[in-house]
Structure 1
Amino acid sequence: MTSSHPRLVDVQWLKDRLDDPSIRIVDATVHLTFDDDGAHTESGRETYREGHVPGAVFADQLTDLTVHDGEAPFEAAPSEQFARVVGELGIGNEHTVVVYDTVNGIWATRLWWQFAFEGHEDVVVLDGGLKAWQDAGLPVEFGDASTAPASFRAERHPERSVATADVEAATQDSSVLLINSLDRESFSGVRIPGSVNVPFSELVDDQGRQRSLDELRPLFESVGALDPEVAPVTYCGGGIAATAVAFALKGLGRDDVAVYDGSLNAWTADPDRPLAQG
């Protein structure tokens, strides 16, 4: 894997295993843009068709793995829906899943987290995503790839996710550490009271590759996230970037990280919930 992170692989690792029948490669790209009207998401399917790692299938997280009328605009789909979708992609419980995206890694970690939420731990993230693959001079395929359907059994692990009521309780509980994963300016602008800040953008270098765990450790230690006496809960705007911080913490040995799936979208839905600034 050439990485100290147990769930992170490089392009050489994947190149050596392209023909391994126990491997399933998944492009998890979603495009997220911002303008004066707010945030906008778009399926990455067309980007996938324009070039992807050979053999990779496309998981449309936006349309197939998300509930849009739940607590927040981007909420994990029910277990039975997740199992059906990934099974149709050819992924079974016996497979090692390699996830990547074409953006900044947060959509790959989102799918990594969702697999873990449904009890499948044998999932790794391709460091640097498609860009790293292409930068290494490796070939891509075009169009749609398909794999014979498989049987996937989902066994939800509810401890991987928290709801708004849990976060409300956490604001009064010193044994829970709320970690805001947005940039420092956004954190200063608005946050859940009692939160600390670990920006997801500071977890990667300028090539989109994750910084070494030795580099990341001081960042998390500085906010108390490695204290065994506290339980980390990560959040962001919509539950996506939060998974990148959860992924990094997993590499640093925290197996008890939960993600607030609704994040600020859900928290701010009720104007009576408190917010901190500055």
Structure 2
Amino acid sequence: MAGAAHLTTPLVSTEWLAEHLDDPKLRILDATVHLAPPTEAGADWSQSSGRPDYEAAHIPGAAFADIIDELSEPDGGWFTKPTPERFAAAAGRLGIGPDTTVVVYAVNVFWATRVWWLLLANGFDNVAVLDGGFGKWTAEGRPTRSGTESYPPAEFVGTPRPELFADLDEVRQVVESGTGACLINSLSPEDFHATETLSYPRPGRIPGSRHVFVAALLNPADGTFRPVPELREIFRDVQAEPGRKVTYCGGGIAATGDALALHLIGETDVAVYDGSLREWTSDPTLPLEVG
């Protein structure tokens, strides 16, 4: 095969990936992270790298994309997006150059959507998420390998798109004015309607938020994204509001799942609020809707 095809969708199937495994221009990334909520007041979420899982079994050829250390800004908070320079260096180490195609997967798909979003935000478009992820791949009896693999280093080339991330000031202006964007909370109904919380400094949601639980976007049987007509129905109230769509969650990970679904249904002005509730609820002067 001369080279990987240009991707026109943010999702590729396990069948597509199996057919392209031998493509020398393909870069497959395992982005698995494990996260567990706090069990007592004052504690924080625990995070651990998925590298041991990757080393035990991964899709043939895949390299490990380290979100915790390499694809986040050190000391920047909770999985804070890296600077363009830091991201370019990390992407180059993963072998992502201008003539490559990237497919990202994870045990939990929303870590893969996070890497997909980071690549888009840094000007790299030829990237997709493996629909159904590693779970669907293994359920179909497809091959895996153990150990560690890597790709030849490359020079990452991309023009950053800062508009793909919303910051605290933008979200505050939306809340204060009631205009400028539709805010979308990606968390569970329990989190959206919370009156108490162990997960954040204060319970509640950003005022005016719509609610689209990111897990509801997936087919329970195999973890693939629901068909576009079903996604449009899920986002019906969101799409009824004109203009920019800003997704958020607890720390900017699950929100990228809503962002991918919005792309699937044709929304073009989408941003992720990177600080999300961890940042918003840490400032006691910022308003919340509770219950």
The residue aligned with 1:10 is: 13
TM-score, normalization by structure 2: 0.90
The root-mean-square deviation of aligned C-alpha atoms, in Å, is: 1.3
Aligned partner of 1:148 in structure 2 is 152
For residue 17 of structure 1, what is the amino acid of its counterpart?
H
Residue matched to 1:35: 38
The answer as to whether partners of 1:80 and 1:154 remain within 8 angstroms in 2 is: no
* Residue 240 of structure 2 is aligned to residue 215 of structure 1: no
SS of structure 1 residue aligned to 2:259? helix
User: What per-residue deviation string (whole Å, max 9, x for no partner) do you get for residues 231-268 of structure 1?
Assistant: 10000000000000000000100111000001001111
**Structure 1 runs of 4+ with >6 Å offset:** none
Aligned counterparts of 1:92 and 1:227: Cα–Cα separation in 2: 39
CA separation in 2, counterparts of 1:68 and 1:271? 25
Contact 1:82 1:154 in 2 (8 A): no
Query: What residue in structure 1 maps to residue 116 of structure 2?
Result: 112
* Structure 1 segment 175-194 matched on structure 2, within 5 A: 175-189=180-194, 190-194=204-208
Counterpart CA distance in 2 for 1:16 and 1:107 is 24
Q: Structure 1 residue aligned with 2:139, among 115, 135, 156?
A: 135
1:89 counterpart = 2:108: no
* Counterpart Cα distance in 2 of 1:194 and 1:66: 29
Q: 2:69 is paired with a residue of what secondary structure?
A: helix
- Tell me the alpha carbon deviations over residues 26-52 of structure 1, each in whole angstroms, 9 at most, x when there is no partner: 001111112313421111111100100
Query: Structure 1 counterpart of 2:105, which letter?
Result: Y
Secondary structure class of the residue paired with 1:234? strand
Q: Secondary structure at the match of 1:265?
A: helix
Structure 2 CA distance, aligned partners of 1:82 and 1:68?
12
Deviations 1:146-183 (A, max 9, x none): 11111102321011001101100011232310000001
Distance 1:93 1:30 in 2: 27
Q: Return the match for 2:211 from 188, 191, 197.
A: 197
Note the residue ranges of structure 1 that are not aligned, 5 or more in a row.
none
Distance, in Å, in 1 between the alignment partners of 2:69 and 2:9 is 30
The amino acid across from 2:271 in the alignment is A
Contact 1:43–1:63, Cα closer than 8 Å, also in 2: no
Displacement of 1:84 after TM fit? 0.8
Runs of 5+ consecutive residues of structure 2 not aligned to the other structure: 1-7, 195-203
Secondary structure of residue in 2 paired with 1:229: coil
Q: Residue 209 of structure 2 aligns to which amino acid in structure 1?
A: S
- State the shift of 1:228 in Å: 6.7
- Residues of 1 paired with 2:241 and 2:214: CA distance? 22
Mapping 1:245-264, distance limit 5 Å: 245-264=258-277
C-alpha deviation, 1:227, in angstroms: 3.7
Checking the alignment, whether the CA contact within 8 Å between 1:34 and 1:40 is kept in structure 2 is yes
In the alignment, is the contact (CA less than 8 A) between 2:96 and 2:154 conserved in 1?
yes
CA distance in 2, matches of 1:228, 1:35: 35
State how far apart, in whole Å, the 1-side matches of 2:183 and 2:82 are.
Answer: 24
CA distance in 1 between partners of 2:72 and 2:179 (Å): 32
Give the Cα separation in 2 of the matches to 1:240 and 1:272: 25
- Conserved in 1, the CA contact under 8 Å of 2:187 and 2:213? yes
Check if 1:25 corresponds to 2:28: yes
| TM, length-normalised to structure 1 | 0.94
Q: For the residues of structure 2 that align with 1:75 and 1:182, how far apart are their CA atoms?
A: 18
Give the conservation status (yes or no) of the 8 Å contact 1:174–1:230: no
Query: How far is the alpha carbon of 1:226 from its aligned partner?
Result: 1.9
1:77 aligns with 2:82: yes
Q: Indicate if the aligned counterparts of 1:175 and 1:229 stay in contact, CA closer than 8 A.
A: no
Residue correspondences, number: 270
Deviations 1:30-77 (A, max 9, x none): 11112313421111111100100000000101011112422x322011
Q: What residue is the counterpart of 2:129 in the other structure?
A: 125
CA contact (8 A) 2:67 2:79 kept: no
Seq. identity, %: 44
- Cα pair 2:32 2:107 within 8 Å, conserved: yes
Counterpart position of 1:44: 50
C-alpha distance in 1 between matches for 2:88 and 2:73: 14
Q: Secondary structure in 2 aligned to 1:137?
A: coil
CA contact (8 A) 1:180 1:187 kept: yes
